[in-house]
Amino acid sequence: MANLDTYLDSHFIHRSNWLRAAVLGANDGIISVSSLAIGVAAASKSVEPIVLATVAALVAGALSMAAGEYVSVSSQTDIEKADIEREQKELEEMPEEELKMLAQIYEKRGLKKETAMTVALELTQHDALGAHIRDELGINEISQAHPIQAALASGSSFIAGGVLPLLVVLFAPLKGMEYWLYGFTIIFLVLLGALAAKTGGSSIMKAVLRVTIWGTIAMGLSAFVGYLFGVNV
For the chain, what is the largest distance between any 2 Cα atoms, rounded to a whole number of angstroms? Answer: 78
Q: CA 117 from chain center: how many Å?
A: 38
Asked, for residue 175, whether it belongs to a domain, the answer is: yes
Q: Is the pLDDT of residue 38 over 70?
A: yes
pLDDT band at residue 232, thresholds of 50, 70 and 90?
very low
Residue 233 falls inside a structural domain: no
The residue that leads in pLDDT, 229 or 192, is 192
Q: Could you tell me the pLDDT band of residue 222, with boundaries at 50, 70 and 90?
A: low
In the prediction, which pLDDT does 168 show? 92
Minimal CA–CA distance to 28: which of 220, 159, 205?
159
User: Is residue 191 in some structural domain?
Assistant: yes
List CB contacts of 212: < 8 A, sequence separation 6 or more. Answer: 186, 189, 190, 193
Give a yes or no: residue 141 inside a domain: no
Average pLDDT over residues 197-223: 77
Q: Which domain holds residue 190?
A: 17-82+146-228
* Mean pLDDT calculated for residue range 218-223: 71
Q: Over the stretch 72-116, which tens digit does the pLDDT of each residue have?
A: 888 888 888 898 898 889 888 898 888 888 899 988 888 898 898
The reply to whether 3 falls in a domain is: no
Q: How far apart are CA 170 and CA 53, in angstroms?
A: 12
Cβ atoms of residues 54 and 159 within 8 Å: no
DSSP 8-state symbol, 11: S
**Model confidence at 51: pLDDT above 60:** yes
Q: What are the CA-CA distances from residue 148 to residues 12, 18, 71, 151, 152 (Å)?
A: 21, 10, 10, 5, 6
Identify which of 30, 44, 46 has the alpha carbon closest to the alpha carbon of residue 182: 30
- Taking the C-alpha atoms of residue 43 and residue 36, their distance in angstroms, rounded to an integer, is 11
For residues 174 and 156, what is the distance between their CA atoms, to the nearest angstrom?
28
Single out the residue of 164, 165, 162, 146 nearest to residue 19, CA to CA: 146
pLDDT digits (tens, 9 = 90+) for 54-75: 999 999 999 998 898 899 888 8
Query: How many domains are contained in the chain?
Result: 1
180 falls within a domain? yes
pLDDT 10s digits, 131-184: 888 888 877 766 666 788 888 888 898 999 999 999 999 998 888 888 898 889
Give me the pLDDT at residue 231, please. Answer: 46
The region of weakest confidence among 41-45, 115-119, 221-225 is 221-225
Residue 115 located in a structural domain: no
Residues 178 and 44 sit within 8 Å (Cβ to Cβ): no
Is pLDDT above 80 for 50?
A: yes
69, part of any domain? yes
Taking 80 as the threshold, does the pLDDT of residue 42 lie above it? no
Strand segments (E) across the chain: none
Per-residue pLDDT at 229 exceeds 80 = no
